[in-house]
Amino acid sequence: MHIATWNVNSVRTRAERVAAFLERQDVDVLAMQETKVVDDKFPASVFQSAGYEVAHVGYSQWNGVAIASRVGLDDVRDSFARQPGFAKNGRPEVEARAIGATCGGVDVWSLYVPNGRAIGDPHYDYKLEFLYSLRDAVDAAAPAVYCGDYNIAPTDSDVWDISWFEGKTHVTEPERAAFQMLLEAGLTQVTHPDPYSFWDYKAMRFQKNEGMLIDFQLVTAPMGRRVAKAWVDVEERRGTGASDHAPVIADYDTRSLSLDDVR
């Protein structure tokens, strides 16, 4: 099973490009983040025409997550247990940052972790709370893949120049500790040889290869032992109209999934 995760940075802008990517990489399941569209304006027909079922959560022109699958799409969930909200107008509101579904016997999640904005910003605390709650929601015994834009570079080697990030988010000790807690909860980071998955549009970061690795597939043990290979499709960051993120793809040998593995 080919599973990909991609922060598409506006799905309506890139729907045809995403569909072409699905065909080119022979993707079975795609987790998308930052779709930036409400549910009734999601371009579902583009995916359906390509042979995919699709589920989407979008409440506004911001955030938004989706899963497209050609191997089944069952038990769709629009949040995880005790997912926190962000306080707007004095009342926390759950944002469109998580969607889960069972695809071909595998529990797949598409997650868009809050950016954090700046150290000391309320959004930074929200980011940590989101990660703590996600940790508590992890089902380590099930065959599951927690895909997404985590907005964290777990190590110094995951950014082009750690000194540039001094005093900035994505690399702070509390963020990295929260990421480590997910691993301690029973998840494993799917690794690959590609150093980065995100290059900012500003300052010609992509052309200079000044990137960050912030997009991940974190897997439970039943899926971790079935990883055949993984890679970043850097070509999708090239050209006119590209997202600032590239897809992270993993190939899993799910032929040996047993009834004991599947919930």
The DSSP 8-state label assigned to residue 191 in this structure reads P
What are the φ and ψ backbone dihedral angles of 253, each rounded to 5 degrees?
Answer: -90, 95
Catalytic residue among 149, 158, 233, 261: 149
Catalytic, 149? Answer yes
Catalytic residue among 52, 107, 233, 245: 245
Question: From the annotation, which residues make up the binding site?
Answer: 7, 34, 149, 151, 244-245
Asked if residue 32 lies in contact with residue 110, where contact means CB atoms within 8 angstroms, the answer is yes
Asked if residue 78 lies in contact with residue 47, where contact means CB atoms within 8 angstroms, the answer is no
Asked if residue 44 lies in contact with residue 56, where contact means CB atoms within 8 angstroms, the answer is yes
Question: From the annotation, which residues make up the binding site for Mg(2+)?
Answer: 7, 34, 149, 151, 244-245
175's enclosing H/E stretch is helix 173-184
Q: Which pair of tokens denotes residue 90?
A: 């004095």
Asked if residue 252 lies in contact with residue 226, where contact means CB atoms within 8 angstroms, the answer is yes
Q: In 73-95, which positions are buried (b, 16+ CB within 10 angstroms) versus exposed (e)?
A: beeebbbbeebbebeeeeeeeeb
The DSSP 8-state label assigned to residue 35 in this structure reads -
Catalytic, 121? Answer no
Least Cα distance to 209 among 220, 195, 219, 222 occurs for: 195
Q: Which pair of tokens denotes residue 43?
A: 């371009």
Q: Which pair of tokens denotes residue 214?
A: 């912030």
Catalytic residue among 52, 56, 107, 112: 112
Would you please indicate which residues are annotated as catalytic (active-site) residues?
112, 149, 245
